Structure 1
Amino acid sequence: AARWAALGINFEAYGKDIADSVRVNDRVMREIFGLPPPSHVRYEMFLDKSGRKISKSAGNVFTPQVWLRYGSPQSLLLLMFKRITGAREISVTDIPRYMDEVDELEDVYFGRKAVSDKREEAKLKGLYRYCWLLKPPRAPSIHVPYNLLVYLVKVAPRGSETAFVVEKLKRYGYEVEGSLNELERRINYALNWVRDFAEIREARVEMGDKERRAVRELIKAIEGERDGEKLQNAVFETARKAGVPPRGFFKLLYRILLGAPQGPRLGPYMAAMGVENVAEALERALKAGRSG
């Protein structure tokens, strides 16, 4: 309360574990200092993936500095602003998802992604503005799925990662000119990730029976193929024969291979990734779905 009074604090968030202390200090402000207490917002615990409270005594703390080694300040602010009610399980492995989500918000903000519900659109645009501390950029940046950058960095020649990734993205159709500074920052995040973690966690992707059959057929169809255009056609043909909408099938494959609903042209990317690696990733996705 003395700090609030001395510094003229008029807003302070607090964790639910100190709610009683906040109530006492609010009363001290009113009855001792004769001043109104700050407005408050209560937030709950951050938990680790095992459900334990994140704390120094538990030895499971990771700091903002650690987050910023692998992700942008905007992704960290999204973590903070997206939801403040209810306990939340977080881990450094969430960073790729938050990085991609900032890009999705940017697409909404600049009108590149339509949202039919106007209230939802306003909420998402507001969230994006807060991720930039109410000073958003004037134009969107280059968007590359985090997992794609991680994969490209993994296979890049040591010491030449940035040049290798930039050249690959050009071949995939990304417009990198004018965005090199931002792209280099993103590549550096992915490079730190690859240096510090052996494997990126693959998210489980939900599939119906038709989708599962289509994925199995695609594994057979791409065997031994190296041509990007033929692989692109194989995806279309597999979806058509399986009775799965091609658009939805492509989105499913992007989620399996990149952890995002969209990305570079899929056929050339699969060729660069290697069909053996693609098949292994698809098999893992099928097994993960079955085990659930």
Structure 2
Amino acid sequence: MMMFKRYHGTRSISLQKSPLYINELELNLRRYHGLEKIGSERDRVTMRRLMEFTYLMEGVPSPPPYRYSAVLNVVSMLPQELEFEEILRIARELMSKYYDLRPEDLERDTIFENYVRYAYNYVRYFGRGVREKIEIKKSTLDAINSFIEAINPDMSPDEMQNIAFEVAKKFEVPPKEFFSTIYLAVLGQPQGPRLGPLISRLGVQRFKEILMRSLEERRTFGEG
């Protein structure tokens, strides 16, 4: 509903851009519930009307505790010959580790299952398709590559966390910029749980694969 409301005279609609539309919906859900700031009172009123129209005045739900972009990251890295139920099982396992959720909660979560199905169908028809770009400075990319090389499965979460700070300092990259770039690539959002424990839960090798693939596909270089 939101997509068609916004369409009139202002934008073209493409199924290939559906991940961007879902990202926009998630952002407005967070804004509606006061989880993210919005520029002005006028914009806030417009956004609230748009969201209430989108949900047909039946109540705007809270945003899910995960992002569709992260689900799409996971599904796109899995072998495409797998059946949907197997992809759903793996996605539940990985996303519960991403966001420190209980797998059994995701089993009862119909929104999550729908997200996985959207991602599954999207990858089948469009490949990895259109994704939001991540603007990254060369120094930040160099720091991330150095971090990837430095960590290994024998390290504790605290050791990996400390290495992240050391690498950011070595390459003179502000820690906030370093971490937010990684979170955007892996989770689809600029914040996340402590990086060391996240990597430990996910597995070092799998973390590296997701991060490197996401940056390769989505990065665009900024100044610096």
- TM-score normalised over the length of structure 2: 0.73
Aligned to 2:13: 90
The equivalent residue for 1:289 is: 221
The residue type paired with residue 255 of structure 1 is L
Alignment partners' CA distance in 1, 2:3 and 2:170: 41
Deviation at 1:106, TM superposition (A): 0.9
Contact 1:144 1:263 in 2 (8 A): no
- 1:94-113 matches, within 5 Å, as 94-113=17-36
Structure 1 unmatched ranges of 5 or more: 1-76
**Residues 223-238 of structure 1 aligned to structure 2 (within 5 Å):** 223=149, 225-226=152-153, 229=157, 230-238=159-167
Deviation at 1:102, TM superposition (A): 0.9
Deviation of residue 232 (structure 1)?
4.4
Q: Kindly indicate whether residue 129 of structure 2 is the aligned counterpart of residue 205 of structure 1.
A: no
| Post-superposition CA distance 1:174-214 (Å, at most 9, x none) | 3662861221111111111122233333443333xxx3212
3-state DSSP class of the match of 1:160? helix
**What is the distance in 1 between the residues matched to 2:162 and 2:20?**
29
Structure with the higher fraction of residues in helix conformation: 2
Q: Give the count of matched residue pairs.
A: 208
Q: Return the match for 1:275 from 201, 208, 211.
A: 208
Shift of 1:242: 3.4
Aligned to 1:160: 86
User: Does residue 124 of the first structure (1) align with residue 36 of the second (2)?
Assistant: no
Structure 2 gaps, min length 5:
none
User: Whole-Å Cα distance in 1 between the matches of residues 147 and 89 of structure 2?
Assistant: 33
Query: Sequence identity, in percent?
Result: 23
Which amino acid in structure 2 is aligned with residue 220 of structure 1?
S
Tell me the residue number matched to 2:58. Answer: 135
Q: Could you tell me whether the CA contact under 8 Å between 1:219 and 1:282 is conserved in 2?
A: no
The answer to whether the 8 Å contact 1:222/1:234 transfers is no
CA distance in 2, matches of 1:197, 1:228: 38
Provide the C-alpha distance between the structure 2 equivalents of 1:140 and 1:84, rounded to a whole number of angstroms: 27
Q: SS of the residue aligned with 1:129? A: helix
Taking a change above 3 Å as real, the CA distance of residues 276 and 111 of structure 1, as seen in their structure-2 partners, is closer
Separation in 2, partners of 1:146, 1:238: 29
Task: Indicate if the aligned counterparts of 1:141 and 1:182 stay in contact, CA closer than 8 A.
Answer: no
- Assess, with a 3 A threshold, how the Cα gap between structure 1 residues 140 and 276 changes in structure 2: closer, same or farther: closer
The correspondence for 1:174, drawn from 101, 108, 112, is 101
Check whether the contact 1:78–1:131 (CA below 8 A) recurs between aligned residues. yes
Larger deviation: 166-175 or 93-102? 166-175
The letter for the 1-side match of 2:88 is: T
Name which structure has the greater RCO, CA cutoff 8 Å, separation 6+: 2
2:72 paired with 1:145:
no
Q: Matched residue of 2:116: which SS?
A: helix
Q: Which has the higher Rg, Structure 1 or Structure 2?
A: 1
Q: Give the Å deviation of 1:95.
A: 0.6
CA shift for structure 1 position 101 = 1.4
C-alpha distance 183-202 of structure 1, shift in aligned 2 (>3 A) = closer
Distance 2:130 2:194 in 1: 23
CA 1:104–1:203: 2 relative to 1, 3 Å: closer
Q: Normalization by structure 1: what TM-score?
A: 0.59
